[in-house]
Amino acid sequence: MGLKRSAFSLALGIFLTFLFSGLYAQPDRPKFKVIAFYTAKNDQAHISYVNEANRWFPEMGKRYKFSYDATSDWKNMNTTFLSQYQVVLFLDTRPEEPSQRSAFRQYMEKGGGWIGFHFAAFALTPSDFPQDWDWYHQQFLGSGSYDSNTWKPTSAILRVENRKHPVSSKLAATFISAPNEWYRWSEDLRTNPDIRILLSIDSSSFPLGTGPKSSEIWHSGYYPVAWTNVKYRMVYINMGHNDMDYENHSAKNLSSTFSSKTQNDFLLRSLFFVAGKTLR
């Protein structure tokens, strides 16, 4: 009788455990929410990157438990909309309207997270993207205006500049990037006390670029390609320009920004860093 009673009690306990675990189980909540803004117009290489990013980030979100939304409507750059997200990405451009710029600055100054890619830091006067936003280009990014670039898009050997930063501490000393068009800036980021350079072009990459213009081939110099500003939860990453079939004037992709495993690891660690999380 005692054995039967014990077996019944055990079975009842197991049943109640499953019952209450089912009643109180909560669906998996994302660790953080990401919203990506993009324009994806004119430059086929930037459009190619945006399309890739909007496939890659959702896949990583499923694997690492974050949510990812994307929008090309920059009117969503307002305080109410941004309050839903812990991280904002600029995949290819920047906000242009004063109200949008004000909302973004307020978001960042209140502790929001941000990653900008490649063209998101571009500013050249005169051009369609002039340097008309001092806070963003001079203070926040610290890079100032665009100065020049390499051509064609090629891989580079990147050097890890900061071995103590959580974004780059687990990377190898150097690694090969995905193909990219590399930018040079008007400001020397090494002289800015708020900037921590994370990655730069390693000298073993030179000559970098194939031309045809001689100015599009770098033979020497110091070129940061990823950095953070200690006053904000942000990382700028110069990658985001695929190689395309330029000779035949087609939209055929010849490279992928997400083809480098180490670079992808850096992207993910940057994302978790600006979200205030740690990638295990």
pLDDT at residue 153 greater than cutoff 70:
yes
pTM equals: 0.90
What pLDDT shows up at residue 248?
A: 85
Three-state secondary-structure class, residue 8: helix
> What does the longest C-alpha to C-alpha distance in the chain come to?
94
* Cα dihedral: 120, 125, 126, 129 (round 10): 20
Q: Could you give the domains of the chain? A: 28-274 (3.40.50.880)
Residues 80-113 pLDDT 10s: 999 999 999 999 999 999 999 999 999 999 999 9
Q: What are the residues facing 32 on neighbouring strands? A: none
pLDDT at residue 18 greater than cutoff 90:
no
Percent of the chain with pLDDT over 90: 86
